[in-house]
Amino acid sequence: MTAYTALALQVRTRSINGAADPRAEIRAAIERIGAQVGGSKAWLGPGLRLVVLPEYVLTGFPMRESFAEWREQAALDPDGPEYRALAGIAVAHDVFLCVNAYERDEHFPELYFQASVILSPAGKTVLRYRRLHSMFTPTPYDVWGDYVEIYGMDGVLPVARTEIGNLAVLASEEILMPELARALALRGAEVFCHPTSEASSPALTPKAIARRARAVENLAYVVSANTGGLSGIAIPGDSTNGGSELIDHEGRALAQAGAGESLVAAAELDLTVLRRARRRPGMANLPSRVKTALWAEEYARHDGEPPGGLAGGARDRAWFRTRQAETIERLYG
Nearest to 265 by CA among 217, 196, 318: 196
Q: Within a domain: residue 322? A: no
Total of domains in the chain: 1
Element (H, E) at 313: none
Q: Within a domain: residue 136? A: yes
Q: Within a domain: residue 316? A: no
**Statement: the pTM of the whole predicted model exceeds 0.95:** yes
Q: Within a domain: residue 99? A: yes
Q: Residue 180: its pLDDT value, please?
A: 98
The model's confidence at residue 313, banded by pLDDT at 50, 70 and 90, is confident
- The DSSP output letter for 61 is -
Hey, is 320 helix, strand or coil? Answer: helix
Per-residue pLDDT at 231 exceeds 80: yes
Per-residue pLDDT at 1 exceeds 80: no
Q: Residue 53: its pLDDT value, please?
A: 98
Print burial letters for 13-22: b (CB count within 10 Å at least 16), e (below 16).
bbbbbebeeb
Query: 51 Cβ partners below 8 Å, 6+ apart?
Result: 6, 7, 9, 37, 40, 93, 95, 96, 97, 98
Q: What is the DSSP string of 192-243?
A: EEEE------SSPPHHHHHHHHHHHHHT-EEEEE--B-EESSSS-GGGGB--
The model's confidence at residue 303, banded by pLDDT at 50, 70 and 90, is confident
Q: Within a domain: residue 57? A: yes
Hey, is 97 helix, strand or coil? Answer: strand
Considering only CA atoms, give the Rg of the chain. Answer: 19
Query: 58 Cβ partners below 8 Å, 6+ apart?
Result: 26, 29, 30, 74, 76, 82, 99, 101
Domain encompassing residue 238: 3-292
Hey, is 6 helix, strand or coil? Answer: strand
Nearest to 53 by CA among 226, 239, 306: 226
How far apart, in whole angstroms, are the C-alpha atoms of residue 70 and residue 80?
Answer: 17
Per-residue pLDDT at 317 exceeds 90: no
Q: Within a domain: residue 172? A: yes
Per-residue pLDDT at 249 exceeds 90: yes
CA 209 to chain centre: 17
Q: What is the pLDDT of residues 6-33, one digit of tens each?
A: 999 999 999 999 999 999 999 999 999 9
Q: What is the pLDDT of residues 37-64, one digit of tens each?
A: 999 999 999 999 999 999 999 999 999 8
CATH number of the domain encompassing residue 65? 3.60.110.10
Q: Within a domain: residue 303? A: no
Q: Residue 333: its pLDDT value, please?
A: 81
Q: What is the pLDDT of residues 165-191, one digit of tens each?
A: 999 999 999 999 999 999 999 999 999
**The total number of residues written for the chain in this structure:** 333
Which of 41-50, 207-216, 256-265, 306-315 has the lowest average pLDDT?
306-315
Which of 52-56, 87-91, 309-313 has the lowest average pLDDT?
309-313
Q: What is the DSSP string of 141-174?
A: GGGHHHHHHHHHHHHHS--EEETTEEEEE--GGG
Does the CA dihedral 23-25-26-32 come out positive or negative? positive
For all residues of the chain together, what is the average pLDDT? 96
Mean pLDDT on 278-303:
94
Cα atoms in the Cβ-side hemisphere of radius 13 Å centred on 301: 4
Per-residue pLDDT at 226 exceeds 90: yes
Q: Within a domain: residue 318? A: no
